[in-house]
Structure 1
Amino acid sequence: MLKYLTSLNDHNLPYPDTIHPIVVHFVIAMILFAVFCDLIGFLTGKTNLFEVSWWNMFVATIAIFVAIIFGQFEAGLSQPYDLVKSVLNYHTLIGWSLSGIIATITAWRYVLRTRDPQRLPIHYIAAALGLTLIVGFQVYLGDQLVWVYGLHTVPVVEAVKDGLLP
């Protein structure tokens, strides 16, 4: 039994496929949808969208830590070769930073919600739009790791094991 728990598959993972992208796409969607709801609610006066936004940010704040745990675990198993290390390091740094930024914005959102659930200041909307830019850059880096550098893809895992990638 222990053999199955400690052995790695063709993707260099102890489970069938990467989990980090699944969880992180959930976080990305929730954050983007929360900002969208806040922006539409702010512009149209449909304040019921603020409640939708709040719950999306709340769950995204919890889920980003799950994404980071799996991201750190899977990054460690990816055996990054020299060319990919800088992108992976930036992705890791921004991911940890985003967890703090998202938690801070969610806490701010909670304070705003408790003071007046029917109103959001323009400063919060600006910060939320800034958050979407950071999330967008993080998505770009994550896409590079998979689609350009091929982390956890079978050909790259085999090339690293065979010593073809330094």
Structure 2
Amino acid sequence: MLDNFLPPLNDHNLPYPDTIHPIVVHFVIAMVLFSFFCDVTGYFTRNYQLYEVSWWNMFVATIAIFIAIIFGQIEAGLAIAYDAVEPVLNLHTLIGWSLSGIIAAITGWRYVIRLSDSKKLPLPYLGLGFGLTCLVFFQVYLGDQLVWIYGLHTVPVVDAAKEGVL
């Protein structure tokens, strides 16, 4: 009965033409990494205008990561997660949700810093930015594995899973 209300799934096992999560999440990745780059560059060059660029990148990234997570959850739920892929998918999901909280908290801290003195950035904030950058790179690595090694939402893997090969 519920099938009458749901759109049909295509050859990628999705109700829309292709995955949306990677598009949105690459936007988040770029903004977080560029924000850290602006912070470090601004710190060493004393170009404090870069701090403003960094702030707005983190602000938008904080909003965009939740959109990325929504589509990530939808697409993970529709993925045919065979046994070999489940640990990587679960870790990617856990880190993704954690990153949403971490990015929101860092953005909140950055807002407080911005209000108190927009021309100073404490070294612990830069250290945390470096840690966030490392975590983002690890998350990218996991996402790359899901697509390029395990082939989630690729036509050959979807077909193989539907035929019972996986």
Task: Please give the range of the TM-score, normalised by the shorter of the 2 chains.
Answer: over 0.9
1:3 Cα offset (Å):
6.2
Alignment of 1:39-78 (within 5 A): 39-78=40-79
Q: Gaps spanning 5+ residues in structure 2: where? A: none
1:7 Cα offset (Å):
0.1
Q: Which residue of 1 aligns with 2:36?
A: 35
Q: Which residue of 1 aligns with 2:9?
A: 8
1:4 Cα offset (Å):
9.0
SS of structure 2 residue aligned to 1:64: helix
SS of structure 2 residue aligned to 1:82: coil
CA distance in 2, matches of 1:17, 1:93: 23
CA distance in 2, matches of 1:6, 1:21: 21
CA distance in 1, matches of 2:5, 2:94: 32
1:159 Cα offset (Å):
0.6
Q: Which residue of 1 aligns with 2:139?
A: 138
CA distance in 2, matches of 1:105, 1:117: 15
The superposition leaves residues 44-96 of structure 1 with CA deviations (integer Å, 9 ceiling, x where unpaired) of 10000000000000000000000000000000000100000000000000000
CA distance in 1, matches of 2:17, 2:51: 38
Residue identity matched to 1:79: I
The superposition leaves residues 105-154 of structure 1 with CA deviations (integer Å, 9 ceiling, x where unpaired) of 00000000000001100010000010000000000000000000000000
CA distance in 2, matches of 1:43, 1:81: 48
Report the TM-score when normalising by structure 2: 0.97
CA distance in 1, matches of 2:80, 2:30: 29
Identity score, percent: 70
Q: Gaps spanning 5+ residues in structure 1: where? A: none
Q: Which residue of 1 aligns with 2:163?
A: 162
Residue identity matched to 1:78: A
Residue identity matched to 1:64: I
RMSD: 1.2
CA distance in 1, matches of 2:17, 2:151: 16
Q: Which residue of 2 aligns with 1:124?
A: 125
1:6 Cα offset (Å):
1.5
SS of structure 2 residue aligned to 1:10: coil
1:42 Cα offset (Å):
0.5
Residue identity matched to 1:52: V
